[in-house]
Amino acid sequence: MGLPGGFEFTGIACGIKPSGKLDLAVVSVKNPCVAVGVYTQNIVRAASIEWNQRLTPTEGFMAIVVNSGNANACTGQQGIDDNQTIAAIAAQHLEAEEDQVLVLSTGVIGQHLPMPETIKGVEKAISELGDSQDHFERATKAILTTDKGPKTVESVVATNSGEIRIAGMAKGAGMIGPKMATMLAIIISDAKISPEKAQQILNRAVEQSFNRISVEGHTSTNDALVMICNGNSEIEVDSEESILAFEKAITENCIELAKQIPADGEGASHLITIDINGATNDQQAECVARTVAASALVKTAVTGSDPNWGRIVSAAGYAGAEMDVSKTSLRLNGFLVFENGQPVEFDEKQVSRALQNQFETLIELTIGLGTGAARHWTSDLTQEYVRFNSEYTT
C-alpha cells in the first residue's frame, strides 16, 4: 500500500532492555510540521507525558523518540532532566530545537533510564534513519514491551484532490484501561492540515477507539497517542469533503490499532466485543459496556467457554445506568440466551463450542428501547495473565 512520504524511521537496540532486544525508535521529518496528541488521564504521569502535553498541538514538529523497557515514570527531577536530555540530543543531531522533539517512554515504572546507553542510542538511531518499509518495521518493533508482535495499520484516503496516505504503529498488551488506553501509538500522514483541525479529529477518533478498549482496566502512567501530518502530499484537508474523508480514515485506523491491543492482551485467549443497545443515550450505553468489560466473572466465563449469561446481565445491572429488565435481551456469538428479562432455552454445549472455537467473542446486550449504543473491546482473563503479572516486575 505504501507509507506516507516525507517520513524517516529507525529502530535499534541500545541497552535499555536487559534482553538486548530493540528498545529505541525514532520517527522524523525533514521540515517542521503538524503534530497533535492525546494523553493519559492518570494523575501519576511519566516525564514524557508532561513534556509532550506542553508542546502539542504544534506546527514545528521535527521528530519523536520512543524508548521501551523503561517508563521513566515516578523518577522525580532526574527523570524530567533525562527526558529533556533525550530531546536535546536528538535536536542537536537533527539540526532542530529541543522543543521540536517529542519523547515517548514505556516499560518498568520507577527506574531511572541508563542515560549513557540512551544518549548513544539516540545518536546511533538518527544516523540510521531511512524511509523504507524495513526502517518502519524496525521502529514498530522497537516500541514493544510485553507485546507478542508489532501492531500496525496502513491505508489510503481518496479525495477529489488526490490520495492521502496514513500509517500507524502501536504497542500495548497489559496495563490497559479505558482512559486513553493506548499505552503508545503513533499515527503518521502526508495530509496538509491545521493543528486545530488535526487535534479535533484525533480527539473524536480516540473516543471511538482507544477509549473503548481495556485489558484489566489499569490506566497507565505513559499512555499517549501522537498524530503527525507533514503535508508531503500537498493535499489540503480543509473542505467539508476532505475533512469527512480524512476523519473517517483516521477513526478507522485508530479502531484497527486499538483492537489489536486487547487481542494481544497478556495471556489472552479471546478478544471480546461488547455491543450495548437500547440504552437511554450513548453515555448510558458506554457505562454499561465498560462495566461488563471490567467484570472478572464475565472475562473468566469467556475463558472457560461458559455461556453464563447471568454474569453479564448482573454486571449491566450494577453499572449505574438506566435499564429496563423486562426489555433486556442477550446474545452470545449470535445465540439468543436471554430475552425480555427471562431465560430462553438454548443448547449450552453448542454455545460453549462457539465460544471455545472462535478467538473473537461477541456479546450483544439490549437493555431497553432507547437509541443509546456503545461498543467496547476487551480480552478475557486467563491463568497465564495471572502467572505473567505475578512474575513480571512492575
Q: Are 364 and 281 found together in one domain?
A: yes
Domain shared by 319 and 248, yes or no: no
Domain termination residue (choose one: 263, 289, 320): 263
Do residue 87 and residue 192 come from a single domain? yes
Q: Judge whether residue 160 has pLDDT over 60.
A: yes
Residues 98 and 232 in one domain: yes
Using DSSP's 3-state secondary structure scheme, residue 273 falls into strand
Higher pLDDT, 201 or 1: 201
The residue whose grid cell reads 479525495 is 159
Grid cell, residue 296, equals 472478572
Q: What is the pLDDT of residues 273-327, one digit of tens each?
A: 999 999 999 999 999 999 999 999 999 999 999 999 999 999 999 999 999 999 9
How far is Cα 14 from Cα 118, in angstroms, rounded to an integer?
A: 6
Of 263, 282, 314, the domain-final residue: 263
Quote the DSSP letter at residue 264: T
- For residue 174, what are the CA distances in angstroms to 6, 159, 299? 33, 37, 15
Answer yes or no: is 293 within a domain: yes
- Distance, in Å, from the CA atom of 50 to the CA atom of 75, rounded to the nearest integer, reads 13
pLDDT of residue 182: 60
What is the CATH classification number for the domain harbouring 36? 3.60.70.12
- Per residue in 49-101, pLDDT (tens digit) is 999 999 999 999 999 999 999 999 999 999 999 999 999 999 999 999 999 99
Position with higher pLDDT, 389 vs 59? 59
**Last-in-domain residue among 219, 236, 263:** 263
**Cα separation values, 123 from 10, 20, 48, 85, 325, Å:** 11, 18, 19, 12, 61
**Beta bridge partner(s), residue 36:** 227
pLDDT at residue 392, rounded to an integer: 65
Q: What is the pLDDT of residues 351-379, one digit of tens each?
A: 999 999 999 999 999 999 999 999 999 99
- Catalytic positions are 182
Domains in the chain, number = 2
Q: What does DSSP say about strands 335-339 and 213-214: parallel, antiparallel, or unpaired?
A: unpaired
Instruction: Note the pLDDT of residue 365.
Output: 98
Q: How confident is the model at residue 266 (pLDDT cuts 50, 70, 90)?
A: confident
- The answer to whether residue 2 is domain-embedded is no
In a domain, 257, yes or no: yes
**Smallest Cα–Cα separation from 175: which of 113, 221, 212?**
221
* Shared domain check, 245 and 291: no
Are residues 231 and 295 both part of a single domain? no
Distances (CA, A) of 89 to 126, 138, 385: 10, 21, 38
Residue 76 domain flag? yes
- Do 137 and 184 reside in the same domain of the chain? yes
Do 301 and 251 sit in the same domain of this protein? Answer: no
What gap in Å lies between CA 160 and CA 157, rounded to an integer? 10
> What tens digit of pLDDT does each residue of 170-205 get?
999 877 776 765 679 999 999 999 999 999 999 999
The domain of 43 spans 7-263
pLDDT of residue 201: 98
- Say if residue 233 is in the same domain as residue 306: no
DSSP 118-171: HHHHHHHHHHT-B-SHHHHHHHHHHT-SS-SS-EEEEEEEEETTEEEEEEEEEE
Domain identity same for 96 and 119? yes
Distances (CA, A) of 224 to 67, 101, 227: 13, 15, 10
Judged by DSSP in three states, 293 sits in helix
CATH number of the domain encompassing residue 373: 3.10.20.340
Structural contact between residues 329 and 336, judged by C-beta atoms closer than 8 angstroms = yes
Q: Per-residue pLDDT tens for 121-150?
A: 999 999 999 999 999 999 999 999 989 999
381 and 333 share one domain = yes
Indicate whether 234 and 99 sit together in one domain.
yes
* Any domain includes 1: no
